[in-house]
Amino acid sequence: MTGKPLGDVTLAVLGAGRIGQAIIKATRHCVSRVIATGRRRETLEAAGRLGAEATRDNAWAARQADLIVVSVKPYQLPAVALEIRGAVEGKVVASIVAGVKLSTLRQAFPGAEVYRAMPNINALIARSTTALASEGNGRGPRASMVEALFKCLGSVYWIPEEWMDAWTALVGSGPAFIAEIVDALVLGAVMTGMPRDLAYRALLDALKATAEHLEERPTHPLELRDEVTTPAGTTIYGLAKLEASGVKAGLMSVVEASTRRGAQLGESIDKAVREALEKGLGSRRG
């Protein structure tokens, strides 16, 4: 457990899929009560095994909760929002639904204090790096509750909403990019004759230690690079290959392209959710 207990707080996780289950597992000791919802029996059973009260009734779960985490797929959000619409006033709602903007969340959950959260896959081992955003790039009255909850999953950063696409590219997709780099370096060692298992475990040790080393010294990472690089040594020859292969420029373009794609997807998702919400509200009025 990373974060401190929130005290007498009931958490509702609407959508106990993979990330929803990670949230349940990481936060069950941080709050007094966890309620989880899902549509499939297997999902509900998994949530129950993690210590949550499992139900298909989103509205009931929302009424019980002080803090609601919405962890459904984008196409499911309008239906869930309409289902719990009368149960969220005065509540705190944190959405991890990719692409859906705070302005749309405010429309979806009237009367609630809304936040966007963007964890990453490392939530599965309670080591997420999570971004939080609230309207006006400020922090709502109960921002500390939201921050404390997500600290139970790992580290938390408050960012302006307009940085969410870049965050998704760098931190959300980042573990996939890092895994690809790790695999490439390990395969290089295999080419020299080193057993893959040994190369993999040793590189992970070096990766973790290097990250900690960089954290402990408030300098540019290239200073560490220069300390390793000796004249006519092995490192400078490897760095020359990196430069010749355009690896650094390639990695920069990876984050830029992922950010651009995230913005495109976000606009499409947000528009679709808004239209579905408006259609649903219109049919209710009719």
Where do the CATH 1.10.3730.10 domains begin and end in the chain? Answer: 173-245
CA distances from 43 to 21, 54, 213 (A): 9, 9, 40
What pLDDT digit, counting tens, does each position of 114-134 carry?
A: 999 999 999 999 999 999 999
The fold adopted by the segment(s) 7-164 is Rossmann fold (3.40.50)
Rg (CA), the chain: 22
- Asked if the model's pLDDT at residue 285 lies above 90, the reply is no
Q: Let me know: does 28 contact 12? Beta carbons within 8 Å.
A: no
Q: What is the DSSP letter of 171?
A: I
Mean pLDDT across the chain, nearest whole number?
93
Q: Report helix angle 221-228 to 234-245, nearest 10.
A: 130
Q: How confident is the model at residue 40 (pLDDT cuts 50, 70, 90)?
A: very high
Pick from 79, 131, 130, 138: nearest CA to 113:
138
H helix intervals, the chain: 18-27, 41-49, 58-64, 77-84, 102-108, 143-151, 164-167, 174-191, 196-216, 221-228, 234-245, 247-285
Tokens at residue 80, please?
Answer: 């869930």
* Bridge partners of residue 92, in order along the sequence: 67, 113
- Asked if the model's pLDDT at residue 137 lies above 80, the reply is no
pLDDT for 93 = 97
Distance, in Å, from the CA atom of 23 to the CA atom of 8, rounded to the nearest integer, reads 18
Where do the CATH 3.40.50.720 domains begin and end in the chain? Answer: 7-164
Options 1.10.8.10, 3.40.50.970, 1.10.3730.10, 1.10.1660.10; CATH of 173-245: 1.10.3730.10
pLDDT for 1 = 45
